Amino acid sequence: MRLMVYSHDAFGLGNIRRMLAICEHLLSAITDLSILVVSGSPMLQSFRLPPRLDYIKIPCLNRGESGEISVKYLNTEIAETVKLRSDLILMAAINFKPDAILVDKKPYGIKNELVTTLKFLKKQLPQTKLLLLLRDILDSPEKTVGEWKEHGFYQAVEKFYDQILVVGMPEVFDICREYQFPPAVAQKVRYCGYLRKEPGLKSRETRREELQIQEPEQLVLVTPGGGEDGYQLVDTYLTGAAQLQAKAFRSVIICGSEMPPQQREQLYQKAALNPKVKILEFTDDLMSYIDAADVAVCMSGYNTITEVLSLGKRTIAIPRTKPASEQLMRAEKMSKLGLLAMIHPDELTPEKLMNLLLTKLNETHYCALAPGLDLGGLPRISHYISHLLSNPVTPIELNFSGLKPIVTVQ
């Protein structure tokens, strides 16, 4: 069996990390599956890739805070770069002949670059199954509905796609209702739950020992995701932490590989003044750092939030508000459910952040409010894809009991 994965890659690392997590689970669930990932992510080569997975790297695009798509590295026009990407994707589909294609987020791809591939598949490989993967929240309903109407995405799903896999819960955000999916589109939606993240490569104890955390010291992890717009968060944290050096907590900051070098260097210099702070650019084992931490300070991208909540961490989220409002919406909704605490970036100050952090560090235990967090996304995705490929998964992978707990936060 062959699966081709198209990963949306215009901002940060979230999309490719999410798609690789799904790929790894699929490979463990479907023994004769091979996966070809097509993505412009510049960090693909930095991740450990499992056997039976390979990738084609296409030229990078970038989406700034304005939301406009531009060419990230090449000195080429956007139209010709999209044409090059589109041709490479089509050639991959023609030669790989996938049994199914999993498309991330945009039914027609960035700048409609999937249109020629979708038309080819419809005419020449009609047996190929098409699945669209959507995270829990895309953007505000007003913006998303307008975009889907303007670009004909409702019609695209109805015409080309077999299923929509939503990695979220309708109790948190009802995509069908909020985004006004017509009946023909809504009936293709399968809510899968959030993606539980696999444990890190190192245990909590091993990682804390490496970081020389001495009891009763506590550890705070600060991560702005990919880091492209993470400077304000990290800088504010460092300012506040400098005022609290006498407190019994240590900090690890992971800036993110997408942070501009000049900003990263400024933060490195500022962190060097505080012996209780360790700062890194990137790690391919973020889960072990999250596991080692007592509190996480982060943005509220889909991946980061599911990672910290998969481990039941006390969390302070400072959401991104541009170019989309999805992080703010996610943080607000999960804050109301008691899953995390949030600070609006417009209200972020060192004093406010440190006061909330000290409160979280002093908490010993609490339970999130109902309806809880369904973390059964990976086995459900494997079930739906294997079913479409006529390759049923084992009974244990279809057993979703116990995957909708009330989250207990450490």
Tokens of 257: 């590989």
CATH 2.40.340.10 fits 204-367, yes or no: no
CB atoms within 10 A of CB 177: 11
Confidence band, pLDDT 50/70/90 cuts, at residue 390: confident
The CATH number corresponding to 2-196+375-405 among 3.10.20.600, 3.40.50.170, 3.30.420.10, 3.40.50.2000 equals 3.40.50.2000
CA atoms of 296 and 368, how far apart (whole Å): 16
pLDDT for the residue numbered 13: 72
Taking only the tens place, the pLDDT of each residue in 322-377 is 888 999 999 999 999 889 999 999 999 999 999 999 999 998 755 443 347 899 99
How distant, in Å, are the alpha carbons of 209, 335, 336, 376 from that of 172?
37, 11, 10, 15
- Rounded mean pLDDT, 384-389: 91
Would you say residue 1 has pLDDT above 60?
Answer: yes
pLDDT higher than threshold 70 for residue 195: yes
Average of pLDDT values for 192-209?
94
pLDDT of 228 strictly over 50: yes
Question: How far, in Å, are 1, 21, 259 from residue 388 at the CA level?
Answer: 11, 20, 40
Please state the rounded mean pLDDT for residues 264-283: 96
| Interval 63-122: pLDDT, tens | 866 678 999 999 999 999 999 999 999 999 999 999 999 999 999 999 999 999 999 999
**pTM of the entire predicted model:** 0.87
pLDDT category of residue 10 using cuts at 50, 70 and 90: low
Q: What is the pLDDT of residue 395?
A: 37
pLDDT at 65: 66
Cα 13 from Cα 258, distance rounded (Å): 8
The pLDDT, as a whole number, for residue 284 is: 87
pLDDT of residue 250: 97
Q: Which of 154, 213, 160, 210 is nearest to 184 (CA)?
A: 154
**What is the β-pairing status of strands 218-223 and 295-298?**
parallel
CATH topology match: 2-196+375-405 vs 204-367: yes
Q: Where are the domains of the chain?
A: 2-196+375-405, 204-367
Q: Cβ–Cβ contacts within 10 Å for residue 243, how many?
A: 11
| CA distance to 43, 49, 171, 338, per residue, from 46 (Å) | 5, 9, 35, 35
In this prediction, residues 33-48 reach a mean pLDDT of 87
The pLDDT of residue 42: 82
